[in-house]
C-alpha cells in the first residue's frame, strides 16, 4: 500500500515568530521544522503501511527555500522518500496555489492508494488545502479522521464531529485529513536519522509541477488586518445562592461542552 | 519549575565556534559522519529527552528507587523503565561507540553533547547509561577479543547495562585497601567473594542482564594498588552466544538512602554468599589499577559534565522565576508597580554569574571532548600523543571545577527563589541536592587537586602545563585587535595568567623539594588554574562572537550578549585568582600548626 503524506515545514512554534509587515504573513526565513500536526499523518501512514504488510510512504511538501530539516525528521520516522517543491516564486502563495503545487507533486507519485494530510497547518490555519487538493486530483475526500482502516480498496474512517463521530467509507484512492492526537507519533531513532540522510528528496520547481505562481501579489486571498489577541478578561464569579449547580450546567451548555 | 529546554542555541555556538567538527569528520574513524548528521542527531535526541526524560526527574526524586529485601531486587521510579526502553530501542546509547561493535561511530564529542542533555533532563536516569559506557570503555581497552564480542555489542545497544565495582567499606579514595577476593579455578574462571558499596545501578529492572566489572585481589597478589585485578561478573551467566543462563552468585543486599540522585539505585553488592560468584579476568592479574587509569579521562569528563548539566537545569528554573516573581520596585520603574526580580541588581548579578559560569563550563567540557577525540583518532601519531597529554592535564580541571560550580550554581538558583527555594515543592532544592554528589564521586575534588599538582604539572618535566599557559598567552594579539570591545577581557586575562604562571612556578618548585607544600595548597591552586582556563575560553568565545558581529552572521543580539557575558566573567569571576595566591602559598605548616586534639574548641 502506497501512501502520500502532505507535510509542511514551519518556523519553530517554540521560538517567538514575527510577521512580515508588507504581506502580514509569518516570516519564514528562519529554520523550519516539521509541523507537529503533520507528524500524526506521517505516523498514521507508517502504521497503515505496516498493517498492509508493505508499501511506501512518500512525503510531499512545498517550501519557499530549499529547507529539508522538517522532511528529514519525517524521513527519520520511517517515510521512504520525499518530493519538495521549492521555488522563490512560491513565497507568499495562498492556499489555492499551495494546493495546486501539492496536487501537481502528488501526480508524480505512481500508484498512490491514499493521500493523508493534517486538518490544517499550525502556522497558517487556513484549513482548506486538503479539500482543494482532492478536488484538483479529482478524488473523494474525507475530513477529520480520528481513525483510519483500510480493507481492500475501501478506506473506513471514523470522522470526528461535534457530537461524536461518523462512520464513513470511501473507495481508494482518496484524500483523508487526520486530526491531531489520534496516534502517538514516534520519535525518530538514531538509526532512522542516519538512514534518512540517504533517502531521496526530489527537489522540483513550480514549473516542474505545472504551476505558474504569482507569489503573494498573485494570491486570491488578502490579509486585511492583523490585530493583537484581546487580553484575557476576568472570569465570571457565580455566588452560590442554591442555584450554583444549574448555573454551571448552563454555562457549560453554552460552551457546548456538555 | 520550568520545563527543561535543551540549550541548543548555545550548544550550536560552541560546536560551530570553539571546536572543529569539520576536522573531526575528516578523520578515518569518522569518515562516514558529517557535521549535519551530528546536529540532526543532537536535535532529535534533545526533543525526545525534553519530552520524555525530563518530566520524570521530579517523580524520581519523590519516589526514588526501592529495594525489596525479600528478593534483593530493585524497582526503579515510575516511568524510568519505559524511558530507558525507549532510549535503548532508539539506539541512543550506541552513538559514540565503534561501528564494529554495533556503535554509531560518532565522535566522542557528539556523545558528550547528548550526555549533557540527558544528565540535565534527569541526572539519576542518565547514570545508568553512563556506567554502562564506562564498562564498555574498559572492555574495549583491555578485554580479550572474545570478551569484547560477547559483551560489548549487547551493552552498546543497551540491552545489557554495566557497573563499576571499586569501593568497599574500608576502601574508598584508597582503592588499594580493597579486600574482595578472587580465587582462580581449574577452568580458567575465578570465584569472587566480598562486599562492594556505592555501586550505581548495581541492580535494577530496566535491562535483562547487568555486567559488573569488579576489582578484587587474587590469593598471592601484592598489597596495595599493585595487587588489584579486574573481573567481569555478569548478573546472569551467559553462554558463548549470549543466551542468559544461571543466576550468578551476586546480590544487591540493600540500597542507600541518599541526599540526592534518589532515583539512581546506589547498591551494596554482595559477591559469593553461596560459595563464590563466577568472574572472568580482564587482561592480566594485578593490572586492574592501571586499566582503571586508562578510562579515567572519559569517566571524569562525564562527571564534570554533570556539573554543567545540573547547573544549566537550575539556571533555567531560576531565570523563569526571576522573570515571573514580582517584588519591590526596581530603580527607574513606574511608581506603584512591582518589578520582576530580574530587574534588581543583585538578582542580575546572580543570574549573570550562573550564565557566565555555565557558558565557560560548556566550552571547557566540549573542548576537552574534542581533545580526547583528537588523542584517539588524529592521523598524526605525534599530535595524538600531544592531545593525550593535554587531556590528561585538564581532566582534574574539568572534573573538579565543573562539579564545584554545579554546586555553586544550583545554590544560587535556590537563592534566587528566596524562601520558596528552601521549599521542596518548588523543585529547586532537588538540583542542589543532586549536584552535591558530583564533587565527591569519581575521585573527590580533593583527589583532583592532588592529581593536578602531583601528577599533571610534572608531566614531561612541566612541558605540558607550559604549553597550556602559552596557548592562553597566544590569545593576546587577537584580543588586542578586538579593540575597545575586548580590552577589559584582554587585560583581566593577562593579569590572571601572570598570577597563575608565577604560582605554578612556585607549586612546581616547592612540590619538587617538599611535596607537602604543594599538597597543602592543591585545592586553591586547582581553582586558580580552572578560573584562568575558563577565562581563556570565555575570551575565545568573545573573539568568535566579535568576528561574527563584524561579519554580520548570526544573531547580533546573541553575539553581543556573548561578549557581555564573557566581559562579566573576566571582570568579576576571573580576578578571584589573585586572592587565591596566598592560600596556595600558605604551606603545610599552617594546616598542621594545631594538634588533632585542639580541633575541638
Among B391, B409, B443, the domain boundary falls at B443
B233 lies in the same domain as B344:
no
> Residue A188 maps to which CATH number?
3.40.50.620
Q: Does B466 have pLDDT greater than 90? A: yes
B327 vs A: CB within 8 A: no
Per the CB < 8 A criterion, the answer to whether B187 and B244 are in contact is: no
Q: Of B442, B463, B510, B547, which is the active-site residue?
A: B442
B461 lies in the same domain as B495:
yes
**pLDDT for residue B294:** 83
**pLDDT for residue A32:** 86
Which tops the pLDDT comparison, A30 or B236? B236
Chain B nearest CA to A153, separation (Å):
34
Which tops the pLDDT comparison, A15 or B426? B426
Q: Does A218 have pLDDT greater than 70? A: no
**pLDDT for residue A212:** 84
User: How many folded domains does chain A comprise?
Assistant: 1
CB A190 to CB B86 under 8 A? no
Q: Does A29 have pLDDT greater than 80? A: no
pLDDT digits (tens, 9 = 90+) for A69-81: 899 999 999 999 9
- With respect to residue A236, please indicate whether it lies within any of the assigned structural domains: no
Among B423, B443, B463, the domain boundary falls at B443
Q: Could you tell me which of B430, B532, B427, B432 has the C-alpha nearest to residue B489?
A: B532
pLDDT digits (tens, 9 = 90+) for B377-400: 999 999 999 999 999 999 999 999
- With respect to residue B597, please indicate whether it lies within any of the assigned structural domains: no
B386 lies in the same domain as B454:
no
Per the CB < 8 A criterion, the answer to whether B388 and B294 are in contact is: no
**pLDDT for residue A84:** 96
Q: What percent of chain A has pLDDT over 90?
A: 59
> Residue B345 maps to which CATH number?
1.20.140.10
Q: Does B126 have pLDDT greater than 90? A: yes
Chain A nearest CA to B37, separation (Å):
7
Long-range contacts of B333-340 (CB under 8 A, 24+ apart): none
CB B90 to CB A190 under 8 A? yes
Contacts of B346 (CB under 8 A, 6+ apart): none
**pLDDT for residue A196:** 94
Q: Could you tell me which of B310, B304, B165, B326 has the C-alpha nearest to residue B248?
A: B165
Range of the domain at A145: 2-219
Residues of A in contact with B52 (CB under 8 A): 187
Which of B5, B44, B51 comes nearest A193 by C-beta? Answer: B44
Q: Does B15 have pLDDT greater than 70? A: yes
- With respect to residue B601, please indicate whether it lies within any of the assigned structural domains: no
Q: Does A23 have pLDDT greater than 80? A: no
**pLDDT for residue A216:** 65
CB B37 to CB A187 under 8 A? no
Which of B37, B47, B52 comes nearest A194 by C-beta? Answer: B37
CB B104 to CB A194 under 8 A? yes
B521 lies in the same domain as B553:
yes
pLDDT digits (tens, 9 = 90+) for B581-600: 999 999 999 999 999 999 99
Residue A215 banded pLDDT, cuts 50, 70, 90? low
Residue A194 banded pLDDT, cuts 50, 70, 90? very high
Residues of B in contact with A29 (CB under 8 A): none
CB A187 to CB B104 under 8 A? no
Cα nearest neighbour of B96 on chain A? A190
Among B443, B460, B494, the domain boundary falls at B443
Mean pLDDT (chain A, rounded) = 90
CA distance B323 to B330: 13
φ/ψ region of B373 (left if φ > 0, alpha if ψ in -120 to 50, else beta) reads alpha
Range of the domain at B42: 8-293
CB A187 to CB B91 under 8 A? no
Per the CB < 8 A criterion, the answer to whether A42 and A54 are in contact is: no
Residues of A in contact with B90 (CB under 8 A): 187-190
Residue B82 banded pLDDT, cuts 50, 70, 90? very high
pLDDT digits (tens, 9 = 90+) for A62-120: 987 788 989 999 999 999 999 999 988 888 788 899 999 999 999 999 889 999 999 99
Mean pLDDT (chain B, rounded) = 97
Residue A232 banded pLDDT, cuts 50, 70, 90? confident
- With respect to residue B281, please indicate whether it lies within any of the assigned structural domains: yes
Distance of alpha carbon A179 from the chain centroid? 9
pLDDT, mean of residues B353-366: 98
**pLDDT for residue A12:** 85
B97 lies in the same domain as B236:
yes
B284 lies in the same domain as B301:
no
Taken in order B198, B203, B207, B210, the sign of the CA dihedral is: positive
pLDDT, mean of residues B225-254: 97
B48 vs A: CB within 8 A: yes
- With respect to residue A10, please indicate whether it lies within any of the assigned structural domains: yes
CB B47 to CB A187 under 8 A? yes
pLDDT digits (tens, 9 = 90+) for B498-550: 999 999 999 999 989 999 999 999 999 999 999 999 999 999 999 999 999 99
CA distance A134 to B569: 60
Known active-site residue B467: no
pLDDT, mean of residues B117-130: 98
Chain A nearest CA to B601, separation (Å):
58
> Residue B274 maps to which CATH number?
2.40.110.20
pLDDT, mean of residues B402-422: 98
**pLDDT for residue A222:** 79
ipTM for this model = 0.86
3-state secondary structure of A198: coil
CB A190 to CB B37 under 8 A? no
Residue A256 banded pLDDT, cuts 50, 70, 90? confident
CA distance B381 to B587: 40
Which of A187, A188, A197 comes nearest B37 by C-beta? Answer: A197
Q: Does A20 have pLDDT greater than 90? A: no
pLDDT digits (tens, 9 = 90+) for B194-204: 999 999 999 99
- With respect to residue B596, please indicate whether it lies within any of the assigned structural domains: no
pLDDT, mean of residues B205-220: 97
- With respect to residue A225, please indicate whether it lies within any of the assigned structural domains: no
User: How many folded domains does chain B comprise?
Assistant: 3
Residue A26 banded pLDDT, cuts 50, 70, 90? confident
**pLDDT for residue A221:** 76
Cα nearest neighbour of A198 on chain B? B37
Amino acid at each position: 500500500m502506497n501512501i502520500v503524506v502532505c507535510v509542511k515545514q514551519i518556523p519553530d512554534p517554540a521560538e517567538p515568530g514575527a510577521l512580515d509587515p508588507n504581506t502580514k504573513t509569518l516570516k519564514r526565513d528562519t529554520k523550519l521544522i516539521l509541523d507537529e500536526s503533520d507528524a500524526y499523518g506521517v505516523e498514521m501512514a507508517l502504521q497503515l503501511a505496516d498493517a498492509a504488510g508493505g508499501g511506501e510512504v512518500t512525503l510531499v511538501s512545498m517550501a519557499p527555500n530549499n529547507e529539508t530539516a522538517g522532511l528529514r525528521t519525517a524521513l527519520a520516522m520511517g517515510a521512504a522518500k520525499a518530493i519538495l517543491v521549492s521555488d522563490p516564486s512560491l513565497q507568499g502563495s495562498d492556499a489555492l496555489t499551495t494546493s495546486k503545487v501539492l496536487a501537481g507533486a502528488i501526480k508524480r507519485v505512481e500508484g498512490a492508494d491514499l493521500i493523508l494530510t493534517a486538518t490544517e497547518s499550525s502556522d497558517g490555519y487556513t484549513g482548506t488545502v486538503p479539500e482543494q487538493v482532492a478536488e484538483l486530483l479529482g478524488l473523494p475526500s474525507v475530513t477529520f479522521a480520528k481513525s483510519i482502516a483500510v480493507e481492500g480498496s475501501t478506506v473506513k474512517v471514523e470522522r470526528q464531529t461535534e457530537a461524536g463521530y461518523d462512520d464513513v467509507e470511501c473507495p481508494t484512492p482518496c484524500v483523508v485529513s487526520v486530526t491531531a492526537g489520534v496516534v502517538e507519533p514516534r520519535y525518530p531513532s538514531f538509526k532512522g536519522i542516519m538512514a534518512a540522510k540517504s533517502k531521496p528528496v526530489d527537489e522540483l520547481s513550480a514549473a516542474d509541477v505545472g504551476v505558474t505562481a504569482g507569489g503573494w501579489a498573485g494570491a486570491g486571498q488578502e490579509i486585511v488586518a492583523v490585530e493583537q489577541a484581546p487580553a484575557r478578561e476576568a472570569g465570571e464569579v457565580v455566588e452560590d445562592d442554591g442555584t450554583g449547580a444549574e448555573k454551571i450546567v448552563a454555562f457549560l451548555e453554552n460552551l457546548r461542552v456538555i | 519549575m520550568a520545563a527543561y529546554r535543551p540549550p541548543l542555541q548555545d550548544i550550536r555556538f560552541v560546536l560551530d565556534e570553539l571546536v572543529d567538527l569539520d576536522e573531526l569528520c575528516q578523520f578515518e574513524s569518522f569518515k562516514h559522519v558529517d557535521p549535519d548528521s551530528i546536529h540532526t542527531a543532537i536535535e532529535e535526541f534533545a526533543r525526545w529527552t525534553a519530552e520524555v526524560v525530563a518530566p520524570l526527574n521530579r517523580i524520581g526524586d519523590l519516589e526514588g528507587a526501592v529495594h525489596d529485601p525479600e528478593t534483593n531486587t530493585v524497582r526503579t521510579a515510575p516511568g524510568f523503565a519505559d524511558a530507558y526502553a525507549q532510549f535503548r530501542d532508539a539506539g541512543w546509547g550506541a552513538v559514540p561507540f565503534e561501528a564494529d561493535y554495533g556503535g554509531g561511530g560518532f565522535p566522542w564529542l557528539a556523545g558528550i553533547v547528548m550526555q549533557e542533555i540527558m544528565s540535565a533532563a534527569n541526572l539519576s536516569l542518565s547514570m545508568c547509561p553512563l556506567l554502562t559506557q564506562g564498562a564498555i570503555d574498559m572492555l574495549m581497552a583491555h578485554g580479550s577479543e572474545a570478551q569484547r564480542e560477547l559483551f560489548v555489542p549487547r551493552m552498546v545497544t543497551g540491552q545489557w547495562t554495566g557497573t563499576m565495582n571499586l569501593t568497599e567499606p574500608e576502601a574508598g579514595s584508597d582503592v588499594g585497601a580493597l579486600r574482595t577476593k578472587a580465587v582462580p579455578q581449574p577452568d580458567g574462571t575465578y570465584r569472587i567473594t566480598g562486599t562492594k558499596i556505592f555501586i550505581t545501578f548495581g541492580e535494577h529492572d530496566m535491562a535483562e542482564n547487568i555486567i559488573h566489572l569488579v576489582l578484587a585481589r587474587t590469593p598471592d597478589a601484592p598489597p596495595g594498588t599493585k595487587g588489584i585485578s579486574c573481573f567481569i561478573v555478569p548478573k546472569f551467566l551467559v553462554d558463548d552466544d549470549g543466551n542468559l543462563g544461571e543466576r550468578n552468585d551476586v546480590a544487591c543486599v540493600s540500597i542507600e538512602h541518599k541526599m540526592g540522585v534518589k532515583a539512581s539505585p546506589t547498591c551494596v553488592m554482595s559477591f559469593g554468599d553461596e560459595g563464590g560468584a563466577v568472574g572472568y579476568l580482564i587482561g592480566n592479574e594485578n593490572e586492574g589499577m592501571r586499566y582503571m587509569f586508562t578510562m579515567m579521562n572519559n569517566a571524569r569528563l562525564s562527571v564534570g559534565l554533570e556539573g554543567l548539566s545540573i547547573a544549566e537545569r537550575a539556571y533555567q528554573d531560576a531565570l523563569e522565576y526571576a522573570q515571573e516573581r514580582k517584588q519591590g520596585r526596581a530603580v527607574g520603574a513606574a511608581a506603584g508597580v512591582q518589578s520582576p526580580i530580574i530587574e534588581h541588581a543583585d538578582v542580575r548579578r546572580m543570574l549573570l554569574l550562573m550564565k557566565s559560569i555555565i557558558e565557560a563550563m560548556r566550552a571547557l567540557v566540549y573542548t576537552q571532548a574534542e581533545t580526547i577525540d583528537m588523542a584517539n583518532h588524529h592521523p598524526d601519531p605525534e599530535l595524538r600523543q600531544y592531545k593525550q597529554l593535554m587531556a590528561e592535564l585538564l581532566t582534574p580541571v574539568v572534573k573538579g571545577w565543573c562539579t564545584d560550580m554545579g554546586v555553586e550554581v544550583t545554590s544560587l538558583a535556590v537563592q534566587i527563589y528566596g524562601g520558596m527555594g528552601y521549599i521542596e515543592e518548588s523543585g529547586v532544592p532537588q538540583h542542589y541536592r543532586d549536584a552535591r554528589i558530583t564533587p565527591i564521586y569519581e575521585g573527590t575534588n580533593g583527589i583532583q587537586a592532588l592529581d593536578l599538582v602531583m601528577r599533571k604539572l610534572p608531566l614531561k618535566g612541566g612541558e605540558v602545563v607550559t604549553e597550556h599557559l602559552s596557548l592562553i598567552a597566544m590569545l593576546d594579539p587577537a584580543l588586542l585587535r578586538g579593540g575597545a570591545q575586548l580590552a577589559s577581557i584582554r587585560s583581566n586575562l593577562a593579569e590572571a595568567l601572570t598570577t597563575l604562571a608565577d604560582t605554578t612556578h612556585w607549586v612546581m618548585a616547592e612540590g619538587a623539594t617538599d611535596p607537602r607544600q604543594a599538597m597543602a595548597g592543591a585545592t586553591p591552586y586547582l581553582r586558580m588554574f580552572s578560573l584562568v582556563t575558563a577565562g581563556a575560553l570565555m575570551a575565545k568565545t568573545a573573539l568568535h562572537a566579535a568576528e561574527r558581529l563584524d561579519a554580520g552572521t548570526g544573531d547580533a543580539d546573541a553575539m553581543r550578549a556573548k561578549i557581555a557575558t564573557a566581559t562579566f566573567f573576566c571582570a568579576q569571576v576571573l580576578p578571584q585568582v589573585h586572592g587565591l595566591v596566598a592560600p596556595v602559598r600558605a604551606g603545610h605548616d599552617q594546616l598542621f600548626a594545631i594538634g588533632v586534639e585542639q580541633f575541638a574548641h
